[in-house]
Structure formats: structure tokens, C-alpha cells
Amino acid sequence: MSASASGERAAVHRARLRVAVLTGVIITLLVTVVGGIADTVMTRAQSDQVWRELRYGAARGDLSSPPVCTWLFARGATPLANAPAGFPVESDMRRVGRTHEAVERTVRRDDTRYLVRTQVRADGKVVQAVFDLRFQLADRRHLWFALGVAEVVGLLAAAVTGVVLGRLAVSPLAEALTRQRRFVTDASHELRTPVTQVYTRAQLLARQAAAQDLPARHREGLTRLVGSA
């Protein structure tokens, strides 16, 4: 294989590789962007829903029978038996008792997070509502796991798609280079025979010129023609 043919093959291979890499990058970015948007939308929707339920529970919820994953504490009352450790947040209870202004916060405990709202009810009781976010956090982990799987599948699909697209996109270039190389080869072959014939005739004329004692300038011209062939 000639050096030019090897260079052409290398150029075609590089072009196919660029197409494959570009396709993989685009698909990866799309999966990442879609995952980020899905996570943001889900997190915001969950947060809004939980805060609505928490505010309703703090204002009107039954202290003895709170909703699932929610605990309600009244100032001065005995906490529920199944209440998570560290609740209620007494500092918030005292603050709300003094100011009568609701306080909301997020508390990290026991490898999870809790949303906490403390407020004064219409009957004057200071109530604190606590919501456990462990299930919402698990949903987010499941989402990111699914996105990770989708990312791997997307990369594999991108590799296959990139190879196919690379072949389709670069095939015209490879075919054009092949045709060009074939044309040059055929043209060289076609021109070789006439040139050989001219060279042979030039040699014959040079010998005849020497035998027939032609003028010196003619003999020199034929000699240069034979020497340059």
C-alpha cells in the first residue's frame, strides 16, 4: 500500500472517529440535561407538596393522629412515642411562643432530612409539625440511578450510532478518494505506453541521425530528448 493510500485511510478513520465522538458527546449532554431538569422539577414539586401538607398539619392537624411521615408536637404536651430523636426543636417552640411568628427550617438528623414548621394555632397553642423526607430522598436516588443506567445505555447507543453515522457521513469522501487514486493509476498506465513509444522512436531517430550525418543541431536535439526521457 502506498504512502498516499495509507494517509487517505488514516484521514477517513479520523473523520469517522470525530463523528462518533461528537455523537456520543451530544447524547451524553442530552441525557444529563434531561436528568437535571427532571430532578429539579420533581424536587420542587415534592417540596411544594410537602410544605403545603406541613403547614396544613401545623394549623389544623389532629395532634393524636398526624398524617404519614409527619409528627405534631404541642408545647407542654408529651411527645408521641414514635417521634424521631431530637424533636421537637425546643428553641423554635420558645421563639414562636414569644414572637407568635411562624418558623420553618430543614433539619438533618439520622442520615435523613426533616422539614419543620412551628407556629401558633388559632386557639393559642404552639404547634410544631415535622415531616420526614427519607422517602422523597429515596425517590431522588432512584431517579439518579435510572439516569445513570440511561447514561450507560445512551453511551453504548451513541457509540453504535456514531460508527454508523461516521460511515454514512465519510463514505462519500472515502469513495471520492478511491476514485481519485484509481484515476491517477489508470492515467499513469495509459500515458506510459505513448511515452515509451515516443522514447523508442527518439532513440531510433538519434541513431539514424548519427548514421546519416545530419546537422549537429538536430543530433544534439535528439540526444537531449533521449536523455530526458
Higher pLDDT, 184 or 43: 43
Are the C-beta atoms of 116 and 104 separated by less than 8 Å?
yes
Are the C-beta atoms of 165 and 22 separated by less than 8 Å?
no
Burial of residue 43 (number of CB atoms within 10 Å: 0-12, 13-18, 19+): middle
Place of cell 421537637: 88
Q: Give pLDDT, residue 125.
A: 92
Each residue of 106-160: pLDDT tens digit? 999 878 899 999 999 999 999 999 999 988 888 888 888 887 887 788 777 777 7
Distance of CA 166 to the CA centre of its chain: 18
The secondary structure element, H or E, covering residue 104 is strand 103-109
Q: Give pLDDT, residue 41.
A: 86
Each residue of 132-145: pLDDT tens digit? 998 888 888 888 88
Higher pLDDT, 52 or 216: 52
Pairing of strands 103-109, 112-120: antiparallel
pTM attached to this predicted model: 0.57
Distance of CA 107 to the CA centre of its chain: 35
Q: Which of 18-22, 58-62, 75-79 has the highest mean pLDDT?
A: 58-62
| Beta carbons within 8 Å of 115's beta carbon, 6+ residues apart | 50, 51, 54, 104, 105, 106, 130, 131, 133
Q: Give pLDDT, residue 116.
A: 95
Cell of 116: 419543620
Distance CA 33, CA 109 (A): 31
Beta bridge partners of 70: 131
For the cut 70, the answer to whether the pLDDT of residue 104 exceeds it is yes
